[in-house]
Chain A
Amino acid sequence: MPSAIRGTLIECDPAIRTLILMMDVGSNDLILEELDETHLLVDSNKVNYIRNELNSRLSKNLFNPDEEEQ
């Protein structure tokens, strides 16, 4: 008998996928299953958190080069 797991399928770039995997390292409560290079199954209650966290990490990356120049 196969198992059935409720969750949210996320389809994204491998780079974004790596960022999400890194977010999960501390808490281990985001990712239910690593599906392939461009898909993850995540906890449906954590999708908004993941999107917000991605936005903030991506914007930090944008500002880093400026800080180094100063």
Chain B
Amino acid sequence: IVDQIKLWQLELDRFRQEDGILFRDFISTKEYTAVSEYAQDIGALIWKNDKTRMFFVPEKSAKDITEFVNKLT
């Protein structure tokens, strides 16, 4: 049982959380690539999935990214 407790403790230690904003529903791979690369360049990218065209950034970076998107279109 002690081993089990240690195991579950490890599992919960691997539970990490971060508040922020998910960007999704990009109309094209081109738009997704441009915006996610911009997020990467400003050091905001926490997580991304190229296949589903989504990425996650801290809330403080969301405004910069939205402005970048508006400039694109």
Binding site for B on A (CB under 8 A): 1-13, 15-16, 32-33, 35-36, 39, 41, 44, 47, 51, 54-55, 58-59, 61-62, 65-66
Contact = CB atoms under 8 A, between A and B. Distances in A.
Given A5-B22, A41-B22, A62 B1 contact: yes
Among A2, A33, A62, residue most surrounded by chain B Cβ atoms (within 10 Å): A2
A44 B19 CA distance: 7
B37 to A, nearest CB: 14
B56 A3 contact: no
A51 B32 CA distance: 33
30 contacts: A1-B27, A2-B25, A2-B26, A2-B27, A2-B35, A4-B23, A4-B62, A5-B21, A5-B22, A6-B20, A7-B19, A7-B20, A8-B19, A9-B46, A9-B56, A10-B15, A10-B17, A11-B15, A11-B17, A16-B11, A33-B54, A35-B47, A35-B49, A35-B52, A35-B54, A58-B11, A58-B12, A62-B4, A62-B5, A62-B8
Contacts, number: 95
Contact of A15 (B11, B35, B47, B62): B11
Interface of B: 1, 4-5, 8, 11-12, 14-27, 31-32, 35, 46-47, 49, 52, 54, 56, 59, 62, 66, 69, 73
